[in-house]
Chains A and B, each alone.
Chain A
Amino acid sequence: MNNARANILARLWTAISPDDLAPFESSVAGSALELSRTERVARLKQRMEAMHAEVVITSANGWIDALKATLRQRLLNGLLYAPDTALGKALAAVWDSDLPPLVGYTETIEQCKERLFAIDASITSTQGGLADVGALILWPDSDEPRLMSLAPALHIAVLDAAKIHDSLAQAIAHEHWREKMPTNILLISGPSKTADIELVLTFGVHGPKELIVLILDG
C-alpha cells in the first residue's frame, strides 16, 4: 500500500508543470446576499416549507406550548431528547403526563440501537439555519448524537431566529468553521425524500418522514 502512495505522488510531482506552480489569479467575485432578520426568517420558512418541512414561528416563551400542542395531535410512542442540554432540561421541567414520554439518548448506539430505531419522534436543537436555500445546520455532539435527527420518523428541530445566516458561505465565515470542525456537521432542508422511481417525489424514504421546525423569534 505504501508503494501505491509513493507511486501516485511521484507520478503527480514529476508531471507538475511550471504553470501549476505559478500564482493563480482569481477573476471571480462572489455575490453576497444581505438580508434582514425578518427576511431571513421568512425566506427560510418559505424554502423549507417548499421541501415539505412544517415551520412554526413561535417565541422563546411560547415554544414549549407550541410543541405540546403539536404532539397532542399525534399518536407517538415517545420523544427522544437530550437530557443534558438546556433544551432538554427545559422540556423535562414542564413535561405533562399525557404527552409522549421523553426518552433520553443516554447510552451508546451499541447499547440502544434497536430501541432507538423504534422511537417515533425526536427533538434536537440546531446550530443555526441557512436562509438562501432553506436549511438547518446541526452540529451533533455527545449530548445530541447524530442519529437523533435521522432514525425517528418525526424530527422536531428548535431554531433560534438570531442564528439564521444568509448563506452557507456566511455561516462558515462568521462562525469560523475551519478552525473548529466538529466530528459531523449536517445541513437538513426537509424530511428525507427520493425521486428514484420515475422521478416521482416521495417523502420519508430512510430518514424522517416529517420535519417540524420551531423558530424562536423574539
Chain B
Amino acid sequence: MANSSVVDFPKNFTKALNDPQLRHNLRSAMDTLGMRRRTLFSDPVSFEQLRATGDEIRQRALRQLPELLEKLEKKCTENGIQVHWAETPAEANQICLEIIQRHNAHRVIKGKSMVSEEMHLNHFLAEHDVEALETDLGEYIIQLDHETPSHIIVPAIHKNRDQIARLFHDKIPNTPYTEVVEELNAIARKVLREKFLAGEVGVSGVNFAVAETGTLCLVENEGNGRMCTTAPPVHIAVMGLEKVVERLDDVPPLLRLLTGSATGQLITTYFNMITSPRKAGEKDGPKEVHLVLLDNGRSKIWADPELRQTLKCIRCGACLNHCPVYTRLGGHAYGYVYPGPIGSILTPQIEGLVNAGAMATASTFCGACEEVCPVKIPITDILRRLRNESYQKVDTPHAVKGHGYKLSVIESLTWKGWALNNMMPWANALSAKLLGLLSAQLPRLPKVGLLKYWGQSRTLPKFAARSLHALAKEKGLRDE
C-alpha cells in the first residue's frame, strides 16, 4: 500500500468496483455488521442518551488534553509503566526498536493496533532483523498474504473462506486445504500457540488510557491481546495521544459504545485493564511495560476547534460499515491505513491534502456515518472543510497541510465568469438565450481533460429555448 505518497484514487476505485468477489465479500459482511449494531442499539432513546454521554466524555477529555497527558504520564510512571513520547511514526518505531534491542529480542508478538499500522512498525522491525508476528486471526491472515488491513475492526473482511483456505494451504507448511471455518481457526490456533510461547516482546495498541489511575484498557474477543500483554517479559503499548480519558468512570459508557458500534456486542469476550508491570511476588505478566504516545499530527489537528472533533474517534468502524462508498470499495482502495469516512477526514489532515486530499472526495454526503457515530463526530462538516481548503489558500494558523492544492487559474476564472454572469442581468439573459438556441449543437460532456471524472458520469441537460426569466416576464410576474 502507498504511504506518504499521492494515492491514485480513480485507479484504485475502478479496480475495486470491478472486483465482483470483493464486492460480494464486503457487501454481506457490512450488512451483517450493520444489522447486529441495530439489534443491540434497538432503543433510539437510550442509544441517543448513551451517544450524548460518549460525545461528552470524549469532548471533556480533549479539552483537557495536555493536562490529562501529563497526568497519565505521572500516574503510569508511579505505577511502573515507562512512558515515551514520539512526534512522528519514525520516532515511535525507533523507541520500540531500542526497547526490543535492549532485550536482545528478535521475536515480537503483536495484538491488533491501528497505530502500529500507522507506524508501519512490522515493516520497520523486519528491516532490523526483528520478526513482528500479528496474532489477531484477521491480522494474521493478511500478514501471511503481505496485505494491510482493509477494515479497522475486521481486517481480513475482504477475503472469503476459499481465499483463506488457499492461503493457509500455500503458506503454512503441512496444512491441508480446508474451507471449514472452525478448521481454519484451529490451524491458526496451533501455529500461534507456538509463537505465544516463543514471543520475547509483546506489542499492543490501547483502546482507552485512564489518566486518573494510569490504566491501559484493551478490548478484544480472541485472547491474543491478553497473550501478547501477559506471556512475554516485555510489553510495549502504542497509542495515539488522543486516546486518553479523564476518569475510570468514563470507561463503562465508552466500552459499551465501542463494542456495540463495532460488532453489535454488549461486551467483548475480554476487557483487559493494565495498570502496572508484574509486581514483586507475582508469577506472570511482563516485567516491563512501556507506553509509547504518538502525536503524528494530532496536536496540530487538536489546535483547531472544528478539526479537533476528528480526535473524538474511538475506532469502532461503524462509519465504515454504513458508508455507501466504503461498502463498495473496501479499505484498500483508499490507499492509506485508515479507510472509510473516518479515514477520509483523518488521513488528509495527517498526510496533507496533496497526498490524501482525494480521500475527502470519497463521500456522497449521505450522512450515514454521522448518524451511527457513537461520539457524534461531524464527519460531513469536516469533509466539506477539507474539500473547501483543497481549493483555497487559507490564511489561518490551523489550515490543513496542503490547503489550496487544487487551486487552478482556469477554474478560478471560470467561477469568476460564472459569478459575473449572474450578477449582470443582461449577461445572464444573453447566455440563457444562447444556450437555448445552441442546445442541439452543444457537444457532449467532455470525457477527457479537466472535467473527465465529472463528465463521465453525467449527461448534458437540454436547455429550454426560453429561460425562466423570460417566461415569467411574459406572464407579467415580477422578475427580480
Contacts and interface: CB of A to CB of B under 8 A. Distances in A.
A11 interface: yes
A179 to B, nearest CB: 9
A13 B66 contact: yes
A108 interface: yes
B6 interface: no
Interface string A67-95: 00000000000000000000000000000
A196 B136 contact: yes
B66 A181 contact: no
Contacts of A207: 222-223, 226-227, 269-270
Nearest to A8: B295
Interface in A1-27: 1, 4-5, 7-9, 11-13, 15-17, 19-20, 24, 26-27
A130 B266 CA distance: 11
A196 B161 contact: no
Contacts of B439: none
Interface string A144-187: 01110010000000000000000111001100011001111111
B284 A12 contact: no
Nearest to B275: A181
A7 B397 CA distance: 17
B21 interface: no
A133 interface: yes
Contacts of A27: 52, 56
Contact of B189 (A5, A130, A142, A206): A206
Question: Which among B249, B253, B276 has the highest number of chain A CB atoms within 10 Å?
Answer: B249
Interface in B28-71: 28-29, 32-33, 46, 49, 52-53, 56, 59-60, 63-66, 69-70
B181 A200 contact: yes
Interface string A88-110: 00000000000000000111111
Contact of B87 (A4, A114, A193, A195): A4
Contacts of B32: 199
B222 A178 contact: no
Contacts of B156: 196-197
A180 B279 CA distance: 14
A20 B141 contact: no
Question: Which among B28, B69, B282 has the highest number of chain A CB atoms within 10 Å?
Answer: B282
A26 B60 CA distance: 9
A135 interface: yes
Nearest to B272: A186
Size bracket of the B interface: 35 or more
B267 A178 contact: no
A172 to B, nearest CB: 6
B291 interface: no
Given A184-B275, A186-B272, A202-B181, A145 B155 contact: no
Contacts of A31: 46, 49
Nearest to A16: B66
Interface stretch (B299-307, B322-330, B466-474): B299-307
B252 A172 contact: yes
Contact of A109 (B91, B188, B283, B293): B283
A177 B214 CA distance: 12
Contact of A4 (B86, B272, B277): B86
B283 A9 contact: no
Contacts of A16: 66
Contact of B95 (A1, A189, A197): A1
Given A1-B84, A202-B182, A172 B272 contact: no
A141 interface: yes
Q: Which 10 A-B pairs have the closest CB atoms?
A: A207-B223, A15-B303, A196-B138, A12-B66, A187-B271, A5-B85, A109-B284, A206-B223, A192-B223, A133-B267
Interface of B: 25, 28-29, 32-33, 46, 49, 52-53, 56, 59-60, 63-66, 69-70, 79, 84-87, 91, 95, 135-138, 141, 154-157, 159-161, 164, 181-182, 184-185, 188-189, 192-193, 196-197, 212-215, 221-224, 226-227, 230-231, 233, 241, 247-249, 251-253, 255-256, 263, 266-279, 281-285, 293, 295, 299-300, 302-303, 305
14 contacts: A1-B86, A4-B295, A11-B299, A28-B56, A109-B283, A172-B249, A178-B212, A181-B79, A184-B273, A195-B154, A196-B154, A206-B223, A207-B226, A207-B227
Given A15-B302, A20-B64, 7 more contacts: A1-B85, A24-B63, A183-B279, A195-B154, A195-B221, A196-B137, A202-B185
